[in-house]
Chains A and B, each alone.
Chain A
Amino acid sequence: MTELTLVQAVNRGLQEAMRADPDVIVLGEDVGVNGGVFRATEGLLKEFGADRVLDTPLSETGIVGSAIGMALYGLKPVAEIQFLDFIYPAFDQIVSELAKMRYRSGGQFPCHVVVRAPYGGGIKGGLYHSQSTEAYFCHTAGLKVVVPSTPADAKGLLRTAIADEDPVLFLEPKRIYRSVTGEVPDGDHRVPFGSARTVRAGSDVSVFAYGAMVPVVTEAAAALEAEGISAEVIDLRSLVPLDEEAVLASVGRTGRAVVVHEAARCCGFGAEVAAVLAEKAFYSLKAPIARVTGYDTPFPYALENVYLPGPDRVVAAVRDTVRAG
C-alpha cells in the first residue's frame, strides 16, 4: 500500500501499465515535457522516451484519430484530452469511429483506445474547464465510461481500462485530484468494470453518486446520521456498464433513492438510474426518486458554488425523500 493523491494514482497506474506492456503508448497535449497540465503524466517521458510519450499538436481530432489508428494496428494507446470541455473536436472520432469500429466491421477490427479526460467543476475553471458531459458518451453504444472517486479506484479502474478489449472513456474528477488521498494497493491492482462500491451502508435511503460528488454525498450522510437518518452511499464508479444489481439491491433494502451528479439534470445519468429503478424496483419504492444535480444552465464561473450540488442540497433532498414515505 502507498498513500497517494488521486492524480498520483492515475500517474502510477499509467507508469505501471507502461512498464508491463511496451504496446501502451501515451499521447496528448503537453503530456511529455510538461508532464500534463495536471501532472498526471509526470515522469513518463523521462522513463519511457519520446517514442511512447507523445506531445501532440493541439488537435483533439488528431489525438483520438491517430490513437484509433494505433489501436487498429495493435498498440494500446492512452490518449489524454486536457479537459473534457475540449473533447468535442474529437466527438466524431469517439462516437462515429472508436465506439463503432468493432461493431461496424462485424468484429474484424476491434479498437481499444483509452481516452482520459479530467472533468467537472469546483476549480474556478469557468464555463470551459468545468463541465460534466458524461451523458453524451453513455448514450453511445460501444463505449465504456468509468469515473473513479478514490486514489485506489483511480489506479485500479485505469489498469482495467488499459487491459480491456473495448474503448473506454476514463473521466477524472479534477476537483479532487489532490484534495483526496488514500491507500493504493501496490502492483497490478485492478477494479472490475460494472461493479459499484458501497461507501457506507445505511437503511433509510440509497444515495447514488460518482466522481467528485462521492465526498459531497459522504459528508451529507454524516450530517444526516446526526439527525437519525441512515443513508447508504453507493459510488457507481462504472456508468457503462452499470452495476444494476447493486443499485436494485440497495433500493430493495432502503426503499428510497436519491441520485446525485454535478452534470445538468436534463438527460443526465441520474435520469438513467431513476428509470432503471422505476422499471425494476417500483414496488420497493416508498417515496419518489429524487435527483440532486447541476442546473440546466451553462456552467457559471463566479457562481459555481450555486450551481454545484453541495452537502446541503443532498441533505435537503434526502430529508424530503425520507419524509415523503
Chain B
Amino acid sequence: MAATASRPSAPAPSEDRLGGARLVDAYRAMVLARALDERCLSLQRQGRIGFYAPHAGQEAALVGSALAVAAEDWVFPAYREMTVALVRGASLQAVVDQLFGDAGDLAKGRQMPNHFAFRDQHFVSASSPIGTQIPQAVGAAMAARYRKQAITTITYFGDGATSSNDFHAGLNFAGVFRAPTIFFCQNNEWAISLPRERQTRSSTLAMKAEAYGFPGVVVDGNDVNAVYAAVRAARARAVAGDGPTLIEAQVYRFGPHSTSDDPRRYRADAQVEEARRRDPVARLRAELLAAQLLDEAADAALAEEARTRIGEAIGRAEATPALEPLSIFDDVFAQPTARLAEQRTDCAAHLAPGGRSS
C-alpha cells in the first residue's frame, strides 16, 4: 500500500487503532447514538415525530467508519447514518430539528425523518430510493481527483442495496475509473423482511468487488476498531490513487426496518436475542472497563449526559416554530419560474384569513 504521510488531508498513518481518549470518544458517540435511537422510537410511538428508521446494532460500524475519514471527505449516506453526521460535527439540535421537520431543519422539512443533508459536514442529502447514492459518490470522487484534491468519498448502504442497479453501476464505474471511493456496506442481515441469504447467492457481499476489479473486505461491524482499521486502509488506498474498496461490515439490525415495520412477521425473537449478545455498545463498554479507560461511574455519567442533551434538543425542537407554509415553493429551482410564482400567489390567497378557497 502506498504511503499517505505526504497527504495533508489524511489522518496520521500511525493511528491505525483508536485507543485511550479517542476510544472513549468513540464510545461516547455510540452511547449517544443508542440513546437517541431509543428516544426516537418512543417519540414516533407517541406521535411526536412522524417516522423513524432505527440503527441500534450498527453503532460501531457507524462511529468507526465516521472517525476513519477526514473532514474534507464527502459522505453519501442512506438513511440510518445520523450518527455519522453527528461524528462529523453536525449539531444534535440540527439532527433533532430534521426529525421534527420544524423551522430549524436545514432541509426545511422537505423529507421524512432520517433523510438528512448537512452541507457543512459534506454530508450529502439522503433519499429513500435504495442505492442511488452509490454512483453519485463515485462521480464526486472522480471530480475531486480531476481537481487534484486528495480526498475520498464514502457511501453507506445496506445488504439490500447490493441488488440494486445503482450498486452495480457505481462499483463498475469506480473500478473502470479507479475512483477514490469507499463503498461501506452495512450488512444488517435484513432488507425489511428479506434475509441476507435470499438477497444474493454470493457467500459474502464483499466478494462482489472482485468482479469489478478491486478489493472487497469483510469486517466485524460490532468491533469499532476493526471497522476503523478497515476504513483507514481503504482511505489510504483511495488517496494514494490505488482505487476503490468495498467494505462489508457485518452487523445486525436489532429493531424494525422502520416504525412502519413489524419484524415479528418474518423473524424469530430468538434470533434477535442471539444477535444482542454481540451488542457493539456493550462490547466496547466491556473493553473500556477491562482496560480501565472507563469505570462504572464514568459510564453512568456518559449515559446521563446523552439523555440530558437529547432531552434538551427535543425540548427546543418542540418549541421551534413550524415552517412557513409558502416555503414549499422555495428551492425548486435557483430562481422561481413564472408558473411557480403564480402558484405561490394562488396558495397565499388560499391560506390568507378569509381568503378564496379555490
Contact = CB atoms under 8 A, between A and B. Distances in A.
B84 interface: no
Q: Which A-B residue pairs are the 8 nearest by beta carbons?
A: A69-B139, A65-B135, A66-B139, A62-B169, A73-B143, A106-B108, A69-B140, A105-B117
A9 interface: no
A194 B337 CA distance: 9
Nearest to A66: B139
Contacts of B324: none
Given A57-B172, A59-B172, A66-B136, A105 B338 contact: no
A73 B107 contact: no
A241 B132 CA distance: 27
B91 to A, nearest CB: 15
Given A66-B139, A72-B124, A106 B331 contact: yes
Interface in A23-73: 25, 51-52, 54, 56-57, 59, 61-62, 64-73
Given A62-B169, A73-B74, A92-B165, 4 more contacts: A65-B170, A102-B331, A104-B127, A194-B337
Interface in B104-139: 105-108, 110-111, 115, 117-119, 124-125, 127, 129, 132, 134-139
Contacts of A103: 110, 331-332
A101 B172 CA distance: 24
B127 A96 contact: yes
B76 interface: yes
Contact of B106 (A54, A71, A75, A106): A106
A165 B334 CA distance: 6
B324 to A, nearest CB: 12
B142 interface: yes
Given A69-B143, A142-B333, A93 B135 contact: yes
Contacts of A187: none
21 contacts: A52-B146, A64-B135, A65-B173, A67-B139, A69-B139, A70-B139, A72-B124, A72-B136, A72-B139, A72-B140, A74-B147, A93-B135, A97-B129, A104-B111, A105-B110, A105-B125, A105-B331, A108-B125, A110-B334, A194-B337, A241-B338
B243 to A, nearest CB: 15
Nearest to A99: B332
A26 to B, nearest CB: 12
A69 B338 contact: no
A69 B138 contact: yes
A93 B132 contact: yes
B107 A106 contact: yes
Interface in A142-157: 142, 144
Contacts of B110: 103-106
Interface of B: 74, 76, 105-108, 110-111, 115, 117-119, 124-125, 127, 129, 132, 134-144, 146-147, 153, 165-166, 168-170, 172-173, 176-177, 330-335, 337-339
A11 B255 CA distance: 54
A33 B147 CA distance: 23
B117 A62 contact: no
B168 to A, nearest CB: 8
A105 B107 contact: yes
Interface in A7-23: none
Given A62-B135, A96-B129, A105 B143 contact: no
B326 to A, nearest CB: 14
A68 B125 contact: no
B331 A62 contact: no
Contact of A66 (B107, B119, B138, B339): B138
A103 B327 CA distance: 11
Contacts of A108: 106-107, 117-119, 125
Contacts of B119: 105, 108-109
Nearest to A276: B339
A69 B137 contact: yes
Contacts of B139: 65-73, 77
B190 to A, nearest CB: 23
Contact of B146 (A25, A106, A109): A25
B132 A104 contact: no
Given A57-B172, A100-B127, A141 B140 contact: no
A34 B333 CA distance: 35
A93 B170 CA distance: 12
Interface string A158-186: 00000011100000000000000000000
A69 B136 contact: yes
A96 B132 contact: yes
A244 B331 CA distance: 22
A242 interface: yes
Given A101-B125, A194-B338, A244-B338, A69 B331 contact: no
B8 to A, nearest CB: 19
Given A73-B139, A106-B105, A61 B165 contact: yes
A107 interface: yes
A304 B226 CA distance: 62
Nearest to A108: B119
A202 to B, nearest CB: 25
Contacts of A298: none
Residue among B106, B111, B166, B330 with the highest chain A CB neighbour number at 10 A = B166
Contacts of A165: 333-335
Contacts of B334: 102, 110, 164-166
A275 to B, nearest CB: 12
Residue among B132, B138, B331 with the highest chain A CB neighbour number at 10 A = B331
Interface string A183-204: 0000000000010000000000
A68 B146 contact: no
Interface in A79-137: 89, 92-93, 96-97, 100-110
